[in-house]
Structure 1
Amino acid sequence: MSPSRKHLLAAAQALCQDFARQEDTDTLLSHFSTTHQPTAIEHGDPSLASFLGRPFTGTQGVRKYFELLQELLTYKDMKFSEYVVDTEVNKVSVKGRAEFTWTSTGQSWKETFTYTLDFDQDLKVTDYQVWADSGAAYLASKGQLEEVQRASKE
């Protein structure tokens, strides 16, 4: 029997809340399947950032993805809304917002992003997909975001 809408929504909200609270990697990984090989992918051109455009597969791969994010980025004021739950395929999509900072340059941007989360029968994530502003991340990593932002306002 497939998980109910209520249970899928609660599982997605628990992961999102832990991410927003900046919980440690082990806590985040506790939301991922141990009966399926989980995958994390943040869509985008892999030449723009090391965490973009390639699947991080298995528990160790997903760990590496979260560790890369923690190494390269900080964030604050993360909020999630507009959860869409599909009980037919055990999938939840959600919109998030936060202010991100590329650690090495200190450049920040506000961003809206989406997650699509696939769940197994135990309400654990099997597939974690992110669509975000890879252009802002790239420019911030090169120390060029503020210059581009100023130029766009002129």
Structure 2
Amino acid sequence: MSLDQELRASGQAFFDAFAANTPPIKMLHHFSTSSPAVLQHTPLDCPHPFTSKLSGSNALRSYFDLLATNWTRSNAHIRDELEVDASNRRVVIPASVTWTWKRSGRHWREDFTWTLDFDDTLKISSFVIRTMSGPGTCVMRAVDIDPVATDKKMFAQAAL
């Protein structure tokens, strides 16, 4: 199997695990242990995306625990062809997912692009997620607010 095919298969396997709501501890099996893996998840319009960079296995575990604690994922799918850059050991995956708050059941869709860098053992050394969809759709900035209740509260305050 060529490096291009191996990278594509590794990227696809990681996405499939994400789409299947694989438990956080098992998601870590996709990451490098030879050096601290880097994680970054920001909206496209974030003026300083590097301020949200996390690194190391504890940060990765916390990220996946946060996702599993607050939301369920559904309808995760790849929107377009995976881009493979074998010379940089990189795979870019444009995808979408529907997030549902466990507490309220409210949901929304996040369109994102993953950029995965792999080490020599085909483990992820860098995982950068950029939310491509509109404002308020980045799961890392999600707030579980009932829009109807918020509108009523704002209307009541305006009437005072």
Question: Which TM-score bucket, shorter chain as reference?
Answer: 0.7 to 0.9
Which ranges in structure 1 are unaligned for 5 or more consecutive residues?
46-52, 149-154
Q: How many residues align?
A: 140
Instruction: Give the corresponding residue for 1:144.
Output: 147
Query: Percent identity between the aligned chains?
Result: 27
Shift of the 109–86 alpha-carbon distance from structure 1 to 2, 3 Å rule, reads: same
Shift of the 74–147 alpha-carbon distance from structure 1 to 2, 3 Å rule, reads: farther
**For residues 111-137 of structure 1, what are the alpha-carbon distances to aligned partners after superposition, in whole Å with 9 as ceiling and x for unaligned?**
321110000011000010111246134
Instruction: Give the corresponding residue for 2:47.
Output: none
Following TM superposition, by how much is the alpha carbon of 1:28 offset from its aligned partner in structure 2, in angstroms? 0.8
Following TM superposition, by how much is the alpha carbon of 1:73 offset from its aligned partner in structure 2, in angstroms? 1.6
What is the alpha-carbon distance in structure 1 between the residues aligned to residue 76 and residue 142 of structure 2?
21
**Contact residue 23 and residue 68 of structure 2 kept, 8 A:** no
- Point out the structure with max Rg over C-alpha: 2
TM-score by length of 1: 0.79
TM-score by length of 2: 0.77
What is the alpha-carbon distance in structure 1 between the residues aligned to residue 100 and residue 75 of structure 2?
12
What is the alpha-carbon distance in structure 2 between the residues aligned to residue 96 and residue 40 of structure 1?
17
Are residue 118 (structure 1) and residue 117 (structure 2) matched?
yes
**Contact residue 12 and residue 92 of structure 1 kept, 8 A:** yes
Which ranges in structure 2 are unaligned for 5 or more consecutive residues?
45-50, 152-160
